[in-house]
Structures are given as structure tokens and as C-alpha cells.
Amino acid sequence: QKEVEQNSGPLSVPEGAIASLNCTYSDRVSQSFFWYRQYSGKSPELIMSIYSNGDKEDGRFTAQLNKASQYVSLLIRDSQPSDSATYLCAVNNDKIIFGKGTRLHILP
């Protein structure tokens, strides 16, 4: 059974701090990795994709991938109240598998 695991949270982070979201996956041959943000009652929105080991930065977001440890993370710098949402990790090999998401709450 291919799985993607995330801590459900909620993860509470003070405004302006760094939020760190983690995800592990079970299938070693996974090729592509994605982070989606989902506000309550809304559809998921793609915010980051990463395909090779290391870090990928886009504005306040940094995705980190470690294929040896089967681990992908998302860092959000200078957290804002608008970052409060559920963050879904998705992993692709032959199918895209989603984690159940981590609820992030930014404290003003």
C-alpha cells in the first residue's frame, strides 16, 4: 500500500516565524512531489513542486526533498495569518497519492 503520511496538526506558529511542514512517503520510486494549500471549504491550490533532492525556493516558500529518507518538507518564512490553511503533500510515481494534510494556524 503506497502511503503519504503527514501530521494532522493543528500546527500553531506565531506570525513572522518559520512554519515547517513535514511529509513522508512509502514508495521509494516516487518521482514527483507537490505541496498544495487548501483553505476551508475551498479546493486545493498548487504552491510548490519538487523533483530532485535538495531545496527549491519560491518567494517565502521552500520545499526540501530527501529521497534517501523518503521525506519532503515545506518551509514558510515570515508566516502570515493568510497562510493559515491545510497543507496537502502529494507524491507521484504512477499515481498521485495525497496525504491527509496538516492544518496550520498562524497566530497574530
Partner 1 sequence: SQTIHQWPATLVQPVGSPLSLECTVEGTSNPNLYWYRQAAGRGLQLLFYSVGIGQISSEVPQNLSASRPQDRQFILSSKKLLLSDSGFYLCAWSAAIFNEKLFFGSGTQLSVL
How many CB atoms are located within 10 Å of the residue 35 CB? 24
Q: What's the closest the beta carbon of residue 44 comes to partner 1, in angstroms? A: 5
Using an 8 Å Cβ cutoff, are 89 and 35 in contact?
yes
- Judged by CB, which is closer to partner 1: 13, or 90? 90
CB of 95 to partner 1, least distance (A): 6
- The amino acid that residue 78 corresponds to is D
Closer to partner 1 at the Cβ: 4 or 106?
Answer: 4
Which helix (H) or strand (E) covers residue 13, if one does? strand 11-14
Closer CB to partner 1, 21 or 90, in the complex: 90
Residue with cell 506558529: 13
CB of 12 to partner 1, least distance (A): 19
Strand partners of residue 10 = none
Residues near partner 1 (CB under 8 A): 31-32, 34, 41-46, 49, 88, 90, 92, 94-96, 98-101
